[in-house]
Amino acid sequence: MTDYLDAVIVEHNPSQKTIDRAVIWLHGLGASGHDFEPVVPQLGLADDMAVRFIFPHAPNRPVTINGGMVMPAWYDILEMSLERKVDISQIEQSSQKIHDLISREIERGVAPEHIVIAGFSQGGAVAYHAALGYPERLAGLMTLSTYLATNDHIVFSAANKDLPILIEHGTQDPVVPVVLGEQAQQLLSAKGYNVQYNTYPMAHQVCMPQIQNIGKWLNKVLA
């Protein structure tokens, strides 16, 4: 029996029609699935779409850069250098947990090509790994204020070669420097991916113009 991650569930338009779209959205280090829950009503999603948002909670684990303190984390960060020395095996384990959530949505009647994988900061690094290596075509990949930690470890899926990717970053981010968002965009564009890259004059956070843009992108890729 699969042991699924606990998650916050928010449904857009559940009474209108059968839910046939899904967004699996991962939070950042030390946060929880409740982090992006308030964003859903602000996205301006189309009235004729029924979408299930799944905001999973990361497991608690010791984090080396925080003195070994136990906190919600998708993986251990060993060093805060620009290159980000991280526990690759834990990213792979967390990615598998996201694949399990995708499988559960498919069992509920949501086709994989109607599922978006999203993540903020640490959650974004896992989202990259989970979506780019997923064996069936997905609707899209959205990564916010994050970095591509596993470029040399992903088995890139041919099914998602033309996956729409939205990368968004704050130009004043002191936690994940904007250059890491640029690097991800350049790496994936060089591989032929369809990447949309946007920046905002903000720190390690989200802002209202960005939320509105995310809503437009979701309306497009989930249409």
Per annotation, catalytic residue among 27, 76, 95, 121: 121
Per annotation, catalytic residue among 20, 32, 189, 204: 204
The pTM of the whole model exceeds 0.95 = yes
148 in Cβ contact with 172 (< 8 Å): no
Per annotation, catalytic residue among 35, 76, 87, 173: 173
User: How distant is the alpha carbon of residue 84 from its chain centre?
Assistant: 18
Residue in the structure block whose two tokens are 């564009």 = 189
What's the pLDDT score for residue 83?
A: 73
What's the pLDDT score for residue 172?
A: 98
* DSSP string covering 163-205: -EEEEEEETT-SSS-HHHHHHHHHHHHHTT-EEEEEEES-SSS
Please indicate whether residue 173 is annotated as part of the active site: yes
CA distance 213 to 144: 12
Please indicate whether residue 32 is annotated as part of the active site: no
59 pLDDT exceeds 90? Answer: yes
Q: 83-93, pLDDT tens digit by residue?
A: 778 999 999 99
| DSSP classification of residue 132 | H
82 pLDDT exceeds 90? Answer: no
Please indicate whether residue 121 is annotated as part of the active site: yes
